[in-house]
Structure 1
């Protein structure tokens, strides 16, 4: 199992709109690709950064699912985030493997 984590720091002024968009549009689109078996969205409480920090986490059963997502779906979905929230956020992505 693999955990794809997207940490996003959103400007305070856009945070509420970003959260609603993630819950209603983006996460359903990511899950609709069929490449992930579950997801969760978390807010970081002790972030040292200005703005609001969130982590969107998606679980892939196989590395092939994650790689297929990155190749076929991620570019368009990331472009859509940029279109809606240009210059209002920064994001970084990590891939982790479950040990147990």
Structure 2
């Protein structure tokens, strides 16, 4: 099992709009791809960054599911985020494997 983590640092002024968009539109669209079995959205409480920091985590059962998501779905979904919140966020993505 793999954990795909997307950390977003969003400007304070855009944070509420981003959070609503994530919950109502983006996360449901990602889950509708069928490539992840679960997800969660977390707020980082001790971030040293300006703005608000959130982590969205998705669990994929196989490396093939994750690779298919990255190849066939991620580019369009990430472009939507970029268009909607252009110049108001920074994002970085991490792929992790469950060990225990």
For this structure pair, what is the TM-score category when the shorter chain's length is used for normalisation? over 0.9
* Partner Cα distance (2:6, 2:45) in 1: 16
Question: What TM-score, normalized to structure 1?
Answer: 1.00
1:48 maps onto 2:48 in alignment: yes
Q: Which runs of 4+ in 1 moved over 3 A?
A: none
1:61 maps onto 2:71 in alignment: no
Say what the alpha-carbon RMSD is for the aligned residues: 0.3
Consecutive unaligned residues of structure 1, counting only runs of 5 or more, are: none
Consecutive unaligned residues of structure 2, counting only runs of 5 or more, are: none
Task: Report the secondary structure of 2:26's partner residue.
Answer: helix
Question: What TM-score, normalized to structure 2?
Answer: 1.00
* Partner Cα distance (1:88, 1:29) in 2: 21
What per-residue deviation string (whole Å, max 9, x for no partner) do you get for residues 38-82 of structure 1?
Answer: 000000000000000000000000000000000000000000000
1:39 maps onto 2:39 in alignment: yes
Task: Report the secondary structure of 2:86's partner residue.
Answer: coil
**Count of paired positions:** 100
Counterpart residue number, 2:94: 94
